Amino acid sequence: MTLQFSKYEGTGNDFIMIDDRKLQFPVSEDLISKLCDRHFGIGADGVLLVQHSEGYDFGMNYFNSDGSPATFCGNGGRCITAFAHQKGIIGSTCRFMAADGIHHAQISENNGSVMIVELELQDPVIYSMDKNSYYLNTGTYHVVKFVDNPDDIEIIETGREIRYDARYETHGTNVNFAKLLKKELYVRTYEKGVEDETLSCGTGVTASAIAASLKYGGDSFYVNTAGGRLFVSFKRMGDTIKNVKLTGPAKLVFEGTIEI
């Protein structure tokens, strides 16, 4: 079988995009992990399927690079919006269904291969918070830890230790190390399913911005990652956060075919 795909990246978080509205893609953990392999496959942090979803512009089905199904991905949500526009499925706005519920997105700029996409996320669930550590869900589970310098953290070792902590063993958690400097955040993320540091994590950036608001105040943040800069905004009423939006670039890297 010849598979047509597009490769997209959102601030360094990269995805294999597949138009699966006819439900012909043979989903399996083995196949997805092979496609995401950076030596013997296409190479990506995950696979995103555009599928039919009754009453919506499309459905988003996301898999981690190890082949495991995932809940939601913020950078992936922006990239799949750009991909759906490229394929003529949507115009500049869309309403799509993902594993965690309904999302709206809008393309505010289109420069050909690069689009700026504003994505609405679900209202977060905040499970616990203390002075420097926050545990919440912004579409998937995240721990946010504020540290003096994220670059001093042995992120694989420390991130993996927290990710597999018994407190989170039911579903695991992503781990973000953050610092607020001059009203902008700097974040590094250890991502479950990838089991490594990713250059950027949209839901992690969002979780870090919400945690920063709970710790320092504010309702919008620019967030710098190794892969680029994103913008997070929301409305806050006490410890209740609503109308969360993640804005940033989604770039078409290349298109191709591969035999599977």
**Range 36-61 burial, b when 16+ CB lie within 10 A, else e:** beeeebbebbbbbbbbebeeebbbbb
Active-site residue (options: 36, 73, 79, 94): 73
Tens of pLDDT, residues 23-79: 999 999 999 999 999 999 999 999 999 999 999 999 999 999 999 999 899 999 999
Distance from C-alpha of 72 to C-alpha of 51, rounded to nearest angstrom: 15
Dihedral over Cα of 37, 15, 121, 250: its sign: positive
Tens of pLDDT, residues 216-248: 999 999 999 999 999 999 999 988 999 999 999
- Mean per-residue pLDDT over the chain, rounded: 96
This prediction has a pTM of: 0.96
On the question of pLDDT at 131 being above 90, the answer is no
Query: Which pair of tokens denotes residue 90?
Result: 């949507």
Task: Give the per-residue pLDDT at 125.
Answer: 97
94 is catalytic: no
Distance from C-alpha of 234 to C-alpha of 123, rounded to nearest angstrom: 9
**Range 117-148 burial, b when 16+ CB lie within 10 A, else e:** bbbebbebebeebeeeebbbbbbbbbbbbbee
On the question of pLDDT at 20 being above 90, the answer is yes
Domains of the chain: 2-107+251-259 (3.10.310.10), 125-248 (3.10.310.10)
201 is catalytic: yes
pLDDT band at 169 (very low <50, low <70, confident <90, very high): confident
Active-site residue (options: 36, 79, 94, 201): 201
Query: Which pair of tokens denotes residue 194?
Result: 């990838």
Nearest to 11 by CA among 234, 145, 206: 206
